Structure 1
Amino acid sequence: MSDHDDLIALEQKRCAAIAEGDLALLSTMLRDDYLHVYGGGLSSGKDAWIDHISEVPRIPERVDLAVRVYGDTAVLTGKLINRIRPNANAQPAEAIGKRVPIKEDVQAFATQVAVREDGQWRFCSFQMTRCVD
């Protein structure tokens, strides 16, 4: 497989882990210094983002994903549809500005950075921007 194929497969695996609530698997795909920037501009680290995902489940779908590889660093860009499906007991979250999450389909554009260490690709950064209607 090429780096391009490996990275597409990693992103598909990441989306599936999120949709299935397999947060242990998701954790293995992220570096410990992972930074997640939400559509509203707030950010959190790996552990806080995974905690947020556990309370506010979603089904992510990537569209028109582009992959650019620069040695052991890769940049993935493309549309993202996040089908947010919060638990009944979801509380206001600092990660999203202390508001109670609602059921919604978020249209966004996302940029991710992955690095290859010891032959394995892992994500170190994710930034999304909500699309304007």
Structure 2
Amino acid sequence: MSANVENDILSVEKRRQDALIAGDIDALDALFEDSLIHIHAPGLVHTKALLLEHVAVRRAYIEITRQDLLLRTFGDSAVLTGGIVNRMHAPDGGERTIDGVVTQVLHRGDDGQWRFVSFQMTPYGDQVWGALPSEKPEQADEEESE
């Protein structure tokens, strides 16, 4: 993947974040494919039209922080995966923070522009299984062999 493609996609993601915080429906409309499916952390599924209405009515986003992004491209498609922390207004007037991992799929249209076609956030939860043997730190392996 070229540095230009990577920069283009990361720029589109930054514009998405800024538009959500600003409630900029026109910018979001341009960044999302008409076929967009957006799955919020609690499992709520929105089409593009519903997501735009959600943003316009609720104006929930205060701050969005991304972490450890992995970007993979496959021709005119890209998958962006990584951590996210959303600081948001709560329905009761307070604030709430939701953090987890997001998978986003983008497509480059005939006009050369990257647009989002899919978004799914999975909030962090209990890790009931623990680490796999290959994921354990080497220090733990050394202690076990003593």
TM-score range, shorter chain: 0.7 to 0.9
**Counterpart of 1:39 in 2: which secondary structure?**
coil
**Counterpart of 1:26 in 2: which secondary structure?**
helix
**Using CA pairs below 8 Å that are at least 6 residues apart, which structure has the higher relative contact order?**
1
Alpha-carbon offset, residue 56 of structure 1 = 4.0
TM-score, L = length of structure 1? 0.83
1:120 counterpart (110, 113, 119): 113
In structure 2, the gaps of 5 or more residues are 127-146
Give the aligned residue type for 1:28.
A
- Is the Cα contact below 8 Å between 1:56 and 1:101 reproduced in 2? no
Give the aligned residue type for 1:66.
L
Larger displacement relative to structure 2 (59-68 or 122-131): 59-68
- Is the Cα contact below 8 Å between 2:88 and 2:96 reproduced in 1? yes
TM-score, L = length of structure 2? 0.76
> Alpha carbon RMSD of aligned pairs, Å?
1.8
In structure 1, the gaps of 5 or more residues are 91-99
Structure 2 CA distance, aligned partners of 1:122 and 1:40? 24
The equivalent residue for 1:16 is 18
> Does residue 6 in structure 1 map to residue 41 in structure 2?
no
The runs of 4+ residues in structure 1 deviating greater than 6 Å are none
- Is the Cα contact below 8 Å between 2:21 and 2:59 reproduced in 1? no
**Counterpart of 2:33 in 1: which secondary structure?**
strand
- Is the Cα contact below 8 Å between 2:32 and 2:48 reproduced in 1? yes
Name whichever structure is richer in helix by fraction. 2
**Counterpart of 2:64 in 1: which secondary structure?**
strand
Q: How does 1:33-52 map to 2 (within 5 A)?
A: 33-52=35-54
The equivalent residue for 2:27 is 25
Structure 1 CA distance, aligned partners of 2:68 and 2:19? 20
Residue identity over aligned pairs, in percent, reads 35
Q: Deviations over 1:47-79 (max 9, x none)?
A: 111211221421222111111011000000001
Structure 2 CA distance, aligned partners of 1:116 and 1:126? 16
1:53 counterpart (52, 55, 60): 55
Structure 2 CA distance, aligned partners of 1:7 and 1:80? 16
